[in-house]
Amino acid sequence: MSVPPKILHVEDDADIREIARLALEVIGGLSVHQCASGMDAIAQAEGIAPDLLLLDMTMPDMDGVETLNRLRALPGLAGIPAIFMTARAHMHEHAELIEQGANAVISKPFDAMTLAQEVLTIWDDVK
């Protein structure tokens, strides 16, 4: 098992943020920074220096794909692994998302009890 990643989670819904934080920090023991929008994430990313991105797909103003592209354009974050979180359930829809730049896709609603484990499995695969 590799060193656990520092995660940057971008999600506009405050309650989902809270559940995800509990799931990752309390259940999973992982270090998580959270932003409510793509713009916030871009402003804070360099200071946070994350190892892994967890991005909600549908956000107002800037969606998951645009957020990813702009984050990866920042110094030090080129090629940073990213996981998209989406309510779209079809397999071929997941494949499409991977084509758009994600390393993996996690479906919403996610299982709070297993989210940390899923993230770590993906992290291990990516590293």
Partner 1 sequence: MAFLESVSVSATEKVAQVASTFPAGITPFNGGLLLVATVLAVRAFVPPRPLPQPENTAQAARENKRRSRRRGLSRLSNTVQMLTGLQQRPAPVAAPAQSAPPYTAPPQSTRLLQGAFTALLDEVFVFDPKTLAISFMNSKAEKRVKSMGLKKTKVSFPNLLPEGNRSVILEAARNLQHSSLDTIVFELASDESPIELTLKLIREKDEPEYFMAIMRDVSGRVTEARAQSEYVATLSHEMRTPLTSIKGAVDLIASGKLGDLSGGAAMTLGVAQRNVDRLLRLTNDILDLEKMDAGKMHCMLEPVALTALVTEAAQDIQEYARQFDVSVNVEAGDMDDSSVLADRTRLLQVMANLLSNAIKHSAPQDEVCVRVEDQGGQFRVSVVDCGPGIPDTVEHDLFEPFLQGPQVQRKVASTGLGLSIAKRIVEAHSGTIGYESVPDQGATFFFEIPKLDTAEEEAA
Instruction: Pick one of 38, 62, 80, 94: the residue that binds partner 1 (CB under 8 A).
Output: 94
CA gap 68, 20 in Å, rounded: 19
CA gap 70, 89 in Å, rounded: 26
Contact flags string 27-56 toward partner 1, x per CB under 8 A: x-----------------------------
Exposed / middle / buried, residue 45 (Cβ in 10 Å: 0-12, 13-18, 19+): buried
Task: Please choose, out of 38-46, 66-74, 76-84, 109-117, the segment that lies near partner 1 by the rule CB under 8 A.
Answer: 109-117
Q: Is 65 in the site for partner 1 (CB under 8 A)?
A: no
| Least CB distance to partner 1 at residue 62 (A) | 16
| Least CB distance to partner 1 at residue 108 (A) | 5
Handedness of CA 10, 14, 20, 22 (dihedral sign): positive
| Amino acid letter, residue 87 | A
Instruction: Say if CB 64 and CB 56 are below 8 A apart.
Output: yes
Instruction: Pick one of 22, 36, 65, 126: the residue that binds partner 1 (CB under 8 A).
Output: 22
Instruction: Pick one of 75, 79, 90, 99: the residue that binds partner 1 (CB under 8 A).
Output: 90
Token representation of residue 114: 């297993």
Instruction: Give the CA angle between residues 1, 110, 126 to the nearest 5°.
Output: 30
| Least CB distance to partner 1 at residue 107 (A) | 9
Applying CB under 8 A, the residues found at the interface with partner 1 are 13, 15-16, 18-20, 22-23, 26-27, 58, 87-92, 94-95, 104-105, 108-113, 118, 121
